[in-house]
Structure 1
Amino acid sequence: MTTLRSAALFLLAAIAEIGGAWLIWQGLREHRGVLFIGAGIAALGAYGFVATFQPDPHFGRILAAYGGVFVAGSLVWGMVVDKFHPDRFDVLGALCCLLGVTIIMYAPR
């Protein structure tokens, strides 16, 4: 159950951080306005709180593992929201990152 909770928190953190960055991008780069920027800032703030709910007590471990989730999540976000088409090296890199997440977070200690 702890692993499932941890994975769900990583997913929620990815949505908050990637979504927040995307909203700010839309607000500034795509000229969608201050509401997009404000929503992005709020989402990025929420990401900071979500990470604190991870069951592991070590900040460095959580953030290092989240880096791998962020890489894979960013590619998925790009595919779903921006119709980006990753190539095989993007996919391979993301899978390597997710393997790293699994080792960092869930290896027996």
Structure 2
Amino acid sequence: MQSILIYAAAALAEIAGCFSFWAWLRMDKSILWLIPGIVALAAFAWLLTLIDSEAAGRAYAAYGGIYIAASLLWLWLAEGVAPDRWDLTGAGIAMAGAIVILAGPR
């Protein structure tokens, strides 16, 4: 359960950090948007180091599914665009992969 919370916090930090760059470059926001964006991206990287895994690559691979689902949640809540059935199907497949990676016997 703790890993899921860390992954969720990491996803929020990564998406917020990347969105700040998007807003600056694509939405003509102030360059000052980059300051919280850089802090958020640093928090994202730090949060992933908290995952209890014997291999960084496995932690990152499992994170990928959570990131996809969180990105679609951001799309809906922050950008006001509802995910379509293909978005949701893809997120479901990615989450299934993350669950297999996280729950696989080792």
The answer to whether residue 20 in structure 2 is matched with residue 23 in structure 1 is: yes
The aligned counterpart of 1:5 is 2
CA deviation after TM superposition for structure 1 residue 77, in Å: 0.4
The aligned counterpart of 2:105 is 108
Please list every run of at least 4 consecutive aligned residues from structure 1 whose deviation after the TM superposition is greater than 4 angstroms.
Answer: none
1:95 and 1:25 map into 2 onto residues whose CA distance is 26
1:45 and 1:35 map into 2 onto residues whose CA distance is 16
Cα deviation code 1:24-45 (max 9, x no counterpart): 1112211111221121111111
1:14 and 1:25 map into 2 onto residues whose CA distance is 16
Aligned match for 1:45, one of 13, 28, 42: 42
Unaligned runs of 5+ in 2: none
The answer to whether residue 57 in structure 2 is matched with residue 60 in structure 1 is: yes
Contact 1:28–1:37 under 8 Å retained in 2: no
2:97 and 2:7 map into 1 onto residues whose CA distance is 14
CA deviation after TM superposition for structure 1 residue 108, in Å: 2.3
Cα deviation code 1:47-96 (max 9, x no counterpart): 11000000112101011111111111111101000011211111011011
The aligned counterpart of 2:77 is 80
TM-score, structure 1 length as denominator? 0.92
1:19 and 1:57 map into 2 onto residues whose CA distance is 28
- Matched residue of 1:53: which SS? coil
TM-score, structure 2 length as denominator? 0.94
- Name the count of aligned residue pairs: 106
Q: CA RMSD in A?
A: 1.0
